[in-house]
Amino acid sequence: METALKLSLVLVVAMVAPSSSPPRPPPNAAESQNGVYARVVDVGAGLCCIVRIPGDHYLVYDAGNYESAGKQEAIEALEELIPDGQDIDLLVLSHSDADHLGAVPEICDRYAVRRVLRGGGPRTTATWQAADAAIVSEREEGCDDMNLMHQTVLPGSTLRIGETFVTMVCGFHEPPGNWSLQNESERQNAGSIVVRLEYAGRSVLFCSGTVGRHIGDPNNALIAAERFMVEMKPAVRIDSDAIIAPHHSADNGSAAAFIQAVSPHFVILSAGNKHGHPRQATADRYLASGIDLWNMFRTDLGNDESGKGEWTHGREPGPSDPIGDDDVEIKILANGSMACRYRQVH
């Protein structure tokens, strides 16, 4: 078993004292270039998060949809936020589904990727094969390829990037056999890599495709990865000020007990127009936990005809909402103040 030390990671215990106060929007936070800036890119039915860290450090968590429009949005956001030729300190590819891998070849072509943390695979999709080939080529240039198929990265392993700490919370190449997963989709998603970023006493939990219930389960259900994280929380913290909701806000993620354990102030529901996400049942569990409605953000705000059962707030009947107009941004300043809002294009 590879150790966290061998993987250039360092285990940090109780890095920052927990804050019990809700995040305070800082004066002029929207215009500030100081502190940590994270953007959840509207790539349609997929996920791409780009994080800019003080000191010219960068983290990319998932790489957007494989379809041309979603992939292009991810590439344009990368070009805006990360200068060409800049090092990317960490590229996390949560699992091997193609809607999380779209822009990997472009990322590896434009930037020097220092570390990749990835799970899942191999897959037969052209998107996975192109992403894998790009990472193998990057590895030849000195990239540390931390592939859960070959290496073990233990929960709690933490990488310091500039003034932030990025902790591996959960992630498996193959999810444990006792997780009672019902189908291949659940199996592929349940092992997703979940990481927690902390800066200035504030934190963001990136959950990608992870699951914690079966679709239609009662609200008190808690299974699979979310149960694992709740049971591990005395050793590996999951409480966070903001959460990128699991599995595109599908009903098989965001179990009530998991939401309670994370206790977020801000919820970002990465969705799209394909699968009826975010689900009304999922949004209701966040609202029932005490989340303020106006602290919940969806990346498919506006016109959407994707189906029955979708969350009605922020949705209007009509032609499908275009990709790329509902990015969500999170800002944390060095004094611990924090803001979350829809990106305003200037």
Superfamily of domain 10-342: Ribonuclease Z/Hydroxyacylglutathione hydrolase-like (3.60.15.10)
Q: Give CA–CA dist 137/260, Å, rounded.
A: 42
User: How many other β-carbons are positioned within 10 Å of the β-carbon of residue 271?
Assistant: 32
Q: How far apart are CA 103 and CA 109, in angstroms?
A: 10
Comparison of pLDDT for 343 and 303, the residue scoring more: 343
pLDDT digits over 173-191, tens only?
A: 999 999 989 888 899 899 9
Q: Is 65 helix (H, G, I), strand (E, B) or coil?
A: coil
Burial of residue 141, with CB atoms counted within 10 A of its CB: 0-12 exposed, 13-18 middle, 19 or more buried? exposed
Among residues 331, 311, 275, the alpha carbon closest in space to that of 34 is found at 331
- 49, 206 contact by CB (below 8 A): yes
Q: Which two tokens stand for residue 201?
A: 């006493």
Contact 79, 55 (CB under 8 A): no
Q: How deeply is 207 buried, as exposed, middle or buried, from its count of CB atoms within 10 A (0-12, 13-18, 19+)?
A: buried
Q: Is the peptide bond before 278 cis (omega within 30 degrees of 0)?
A: yes
Confidence of residue 299 (pLDDT cuts 50, 70, 90): confident
CA distance 339 to 331: 5
pTM of the predicted protein model? 0.90
Residue-wise pLDDT for 119-175, tens only, equals: 977 899 999 999 999 999 999 999 999 999 999 999 999 999 999 999 999 999 999
280 conformational bin, left if phi > 0, alpha if psi -120 to 50, beta if neither: alpha
φ, ψ at 113 (rounded to 5°): -90, 115
Peptide bond into 105 cis (omega under 30): no
d(CA 33, CA 147): 33
Least confident among 1-10, 35-44, 104-113, 122-131 = 1-10
Beta strands 328-332 and 338-342, pairing class: antiparallel
How crowded is residue 293: how many other Cβ atoms within 10 Å of its Cβ? 10
Whole-number Å distance between alpha carbons of 30 and 37: 10
Give residue 316's pLDDT. Answer: 67
> What is the rounded CA–CA span in Å between residue 113 and residue 109?
9
More reliable by pLDDT, 145 or 314: 145
Mean pLDDT of 205-229: 95
For residue 178, what are the contacts with CB-CB under 8 A and spacing of at least 6?
none
pLDDT confidence bin for 25, thresholds 50/70/90: low
Backbone phi, then psi, for 31, in 5-degree steps? -100, -10
Distance of alpha carbon 266 from the chain centroid:
14
